A and B are shown apart, each in its own frame.
Chain A
Amino acid sequence: MSTKKEFILSGGKVVDPFTGIEKIMDIGVKDGKIADPKKLKNAEKIDVSGKVVAPGFIDLHVHLREPGNTAAETIKTGTKAAAAGGFTTIVAMPNTNPAADTAAAIEYLSFHAAQDGVVKVYPCGCMTKGLKGEEMAPIGSLKSARVAALSDDGRGIQNHELMKHIIEYAKSMDLPVLDHCEDNNLKGDGVMHEGVWSTLLGMKGIPSASEELMVARNIIFARDVDWKVHLQHLSSKESVEQVRIARKRGIPVSAEVTPHHISLIDECIKKFDTNYKMNPPLRSEDDRKALIAGLADGTITVIATDHAPHTPTAKMVEFDYAPFGIIGLETAVSVCLHELYHSGVLSISDFVAKFTSGPAEVLGLTNRGFTVGNDADITIIDTEQEVTIDADKFQSKSRNTPFNGMTFKGKAAATIVDGKFVFNEL
């Protein structure tokens, strides 16, 4: 790992959606900032020819489990996993225990992230107290504590009137709202997508309507309040279509999709492996194809992992009883390169945008990209190297991934945060 304060990444293909650059060129780094390589006298030259050099990847959806479930993950291990996956910035979901619904909780997270985290952690505050969906959380205080966004992730707010108030209030605080779109009654005690496979397997299903109804609700409020609402982890074809139409009409709604929803489907559950159990569930092949089409035509602008660690003991139970969620930081880039870049669906520029300009726009971040003076947050990707996923070697404390043992072409090669290498396999 380079500890030099000055270095030049030389010969790589720079792909920067913020400035529109896509060409082979050198990137200079000095004192943690992007610098003009021509002005660097003592710089170490690091050869990155053949690699893609992109602005630091941002994951809008990560569960760090600290405080409350540090057996599954900690800020330290979670951020190390992020670094190994090529992410320089992650947004930490607030469904910790206790929930991040007070300034004190946010400050706890920020303090420990500064101490133990190896990548940048942006806290996300709760929309409602205790994630109960009843009373608004102290959003103003959360804003002062510098949350990057608001979410009740893990749950969706059922009371529409409350949701509308939250969006209005968030607007006044200039905070993005990230919603986990789910109708509790329709979800019931379902454990997988309601469709052919839940019928064949005799399992309780979660209908697509559960998500679609809340997507509709959120689009309506984004329109009425005229404030951006970001829809988390879309899983259904009809959800994508609703977002497509809304965006065409200029409604300020954005959407994200996870790597697992674009690569896996409900049929995978026929082996009852709980590494395929998450919420929203894996849906049908039609849904999967529609999510990819949504990425292709720009309806979906963000890829986020919904990294959800669980201890092996927690997951190694009957499918019905297993907790929802799988990890994803360390497999995201490989899986997405496979499904989107190597398959020809997205150009490298559009691919990089889903991890950079897309999330940055949701959060309202400026000063990203390779403009001189910006923070030197850089992600270097090898799009060609074959990698076989070995969960035992993960930086994450948890192992709940469905991709173990699978081989992909492409991976994160190095991750630089504020000019310092936090992951280096160059």
Chain B
Amino acid sequence: MPAKKEVCNAEGVDAAVHKVADGIISEFLDCPTREFAIIGIHQQGVPLAKRLISIIESKTGYSPELALLDISMYRDDIGVRQNLPQINETLIPFDVNDKVVILVDDVLSSGRTIRAALDALTDYGRPGLIRLAVLVNRGNHEFPIGADYTGMTLAVPVERKVAVEFVESDGQDRVCIIDWKKRSSQEDN
């Protein structure tokens, strides 16, 4: 297969985002309503988190608080990978103690990112409830972590990577599968 292959187009992405938003709304905003905050995990959890907030607000009038979380300092692979990721901004403008929060990331794969996010979040306080929302659940779980709201499920072999692109950061909405071995600096469809 070519180095990068699109498996879901903009409409598919939009449908998946709505599916996640609907899942959240039905748990928290149909009776009884409970307040909650949305925490986007850097990097692609952030545009997704913002979109979910926008959809939830337009559908229900409720606008959850937004927080941004970078988990670089909590990774379990420091000193082992080839590159060290950039540390992005962590911004949690509320008291985490007793808070109901929904962690948001674009892809759930091994589960290690979420493990790190849980450790990071609990260093800020003791949340009342944590849920996990992902756009794509691709299996290959290495940790016993599952998503509560899933946009789409993709069965992808372990040697391929799933990449989600958003208009806000990449110019278009789509989900692609990338073959690591064939990756080059040129994109191809």
Direct contact of A and B (CB under 8 A): no
